[in-house]
Structure 1
Amino acid sequence: MTGSTGADVAAKATELLRLHRDPQLLRVVNVWDVISAKVVGDIEGTTALATASHSIAASRGYEDGENIPVDEMLGEVARIVAATDLPVTADLEGGYGNAAETVRRAIGAGVVGANIEDQLKPLAEAAAQVEAIMKAAEAEGVPDFVLNARTDVFLKVEERGAEATLEDAVQRGKAFLDAGAPVVFVPGVLSEEQITTLVEAFGPQRLTVIGLPGLPPQARLTELGVARISYGPLTQRVALTALAELTESVREGGGIPEGTRPLN
């Protein structure tokens, strides 16, 4: 990537990486289209945006799990990037068959970070994918691309047990960091003890988590050295809950709640 646009993208990637390295917890509220991106981006204190692949797919009628065509996903992500001056990191699931190429295309749209799932591939294969992504980003002139290398091990915790799952998360996360990923995403309901173990294994400001109910408070996550918290499809779920509750209110003779904010 060359020219002023490429320089702008590289600078935004450097800023997004700085936000992850800052001892203050990076809080990102996930968006799924232009209007949600504008609403979140306009809130004072918002420093970066993250897309939610599940939410983008759902808004277009697809089930989660790479059922949405990659062109549709990247097209929506590109519209979100164009609607904000903030750094944008995109949830790109497992990479849609070619993670490095998908990231390369996302960078072309101005994306400066990405979640890529390991989908529990063999560790050597998953680590090689991380390395290929980071090499592709460097070749595009974005060496500070913030790959949030995700491991799905805690999504299988009931099958494997908490101790074995935590050991696997540590092994995979360290391998991804060694392969060049700046941060590792371990989704799941993690206890303070598990988070402490992961931060000690990865180093401070290298772990990202999802804000599921039951997670330690943000202030404690900051103290523990977590880099980032995001909310995935939960943000869309909150918005749709409000819509459902409005519909129920209208059915009972009510209407628009007081305090509803205008859209710009």
Structure 2
Amino acid sequence: MTTSPASRAAQAAALLDLHAGPGFVLPNAWDAGSARILAGCGFPAIATTSAGVAWSLGVPDGGLVSRDVMLSHIAAIVAAVPVPVTADLEAGYSSSASGVATTVGLAVDAGAVGANLEDIADGSLFSVSDGAERIAAARSAAPAGTFVINARTDTYFAGAFSDPFAETITRAVAYVEAGADCIFVPGVRDADTIRRLAAEIPAPLNIVAGLANTISAPDLFALGVARVSLGGSITRAVFALLERAGAELLTTGTLGFLDGAISYAELQERMRS
């Protein structure tokens, strides 16, 4: 875990620097074990996934996990890996901007050096001004250079706009002016829209792969995307394997699901490293 302001600042700088490169993949972990495996693969940073945390606790995604429980998972992930960790803080676990600031402060205390913050709660988008106020509050709790704020806008998921592209740009500009370091736009499916977003948003663009689109990371980088995250996709793949294993055991009693499985000794070593 990062334990000093200097080390946290160094990790925040390293995370921010990744956005200035040719593009990077940011995998999403849901617990300390998954974070260790992903860091061991060589990823330079790890994100958390609120959906994955919820599913690992046996509840649906969508705000059923409390802030304290989510922060405890974030802290465990931070403690497990030597790379920067950025946290999925959903909508900041508060209806007020001051509450968002408190949440970000707690994420800093947990060791995170970045966070996603959504502009939607209970299925409704905040106004542009409210969304910007919440980003500004987050920035006040974690000054620039110490924490990477990834402002998420759900204009393509939950908005009912005649021109979602224009609304996205309006929100992105407002959030960057409020202190966001990068902009996350989930739900975009076509390459041309992604290319236009990357060209017009005045900050690095984050696109999630494996949810609304199946465009590969290299192709997204070619469109101008700086950061490719996975959301809950890796968690879904792991749970799908678990379900297939259960179905095979129940129906045939065979062990085909173990083909390619990591050995006990190897997994022990992964968790020691």
Q: Who is 2:174 aligned against?
A: 175
Aligned counterpart for 1:126 among listed residues 125, 128, 131: 131
CA distance in 2, matches of 1:48, 1:4: 17
Q: Who is 1:16 aligned against?
A: 15
AA partner of residue 205 (structure 2): L
Change (3 A) 1:131 1:227: same
Deviations 1:232-252 (A, max 9, x none): 111111000001111122221
Deviations 1:195-233 (A, max 9, x none): 111111114x61101103634332222122211111111
- Greater RCO (CA < 8 Å, at least 6 residues apart): 1
Deviations 1:70-97 (A, max 9, x none): 1111011101100110100010100000
Where does structure 1 lack aligned partners over 5 or more consecutive residues? none
Q: Who is 2:207 aligned against?
A: 209
Aligned counterpart for 2:151 among listed residues 149, 152, 156: 149
Q: Who is 2:45 aligned against?
A: 48
CA distance in 2, matches of 1:160, 1:118: 15
Q: How many residue pairs are counted as aligned between the two chains?
A: 253
CA distance in 1, matches of 2:6, 2:44: 19
Q: Who is 1:83 aligned against?
A: 80
Q: Do the aligned partners of 1:189 and 1:215 also contact (CA within 8 Å) in 2?
A: no
Q: Who is 1:92 aligned against?
A: 89
Tell me how far 1:60 sits from its aligned partner.
Answer: 1.9
CA distance in 2, matches of 1:200, 1:167: 13
Aligned counterpart for 1:65 among listed residues 40, 58, 62: 62
Identity of aligned residues (%): 36
CA distance in 1, matches of 2:53, 2:3: 29
Where does structure 2 lack aligned partners over 5 or more consecutive residues? 269-273
CA distance in 2, matches of 1:218, 1:137: 30
Q: Do the aligned partners of 2:187 and 2:213 also contact (CA within 8 Å) in 1?
A: no
Q: State the TM-score, normalizing by the size of structure 1.
A: 0.90
Q: Who is 1:30 aligned against?
A: 28
Q: Who is 2:247 aligned against?
A: 248
Q: Do the aligned partners of 1:134 and 1:143 also contact (CA within 8 Å) in 2?
A: no
CA distance in 2, matches of 1:242, 1:60: 17
Change (3 A) 1:14 1:70: same
CA distance in 2, matches of 1:57, 1:192: 31
Tell me how far 1:4 sits from its aligned partner.
Answer: 6.0
CA distance in 2, matches of 1:237, 1:90: 19
CA distance in 1, matches of 2:117, 2:243: 32
AA partner of residue 140 (structure 2): K
User: Aligned with 2:157: secondary structure?
Assistant: helix
CA distance in 2, matches of 1:243, 1:154: 31
Q: Who is 1:103 aligned against?
A: 104
- Moved beyond 4 Å, runs of 4+: none
Change (3 A) 1:213 1:188: closer
Cα RMSD of the aligned pairs, angstroms, is 1.7
Tell me how far 1:144 sits from its aligned partner.
Answer: 3.9
Q: Do the aligned partners of 1:191 and 1:215 also contact (CA within 8 Å) in 2?
A: no
Deviations 1:55-78 (A, max 9, x none): 112222333222211111101110
Q: Do the aligned partners of 1:209 and 1:228 also contact (CA within 8 Å) in 2?
A: yes
CA distance in 2, matches of 1:94, 1:4: 26
CA distance in 2, matches of 1:169, 1:215: 21
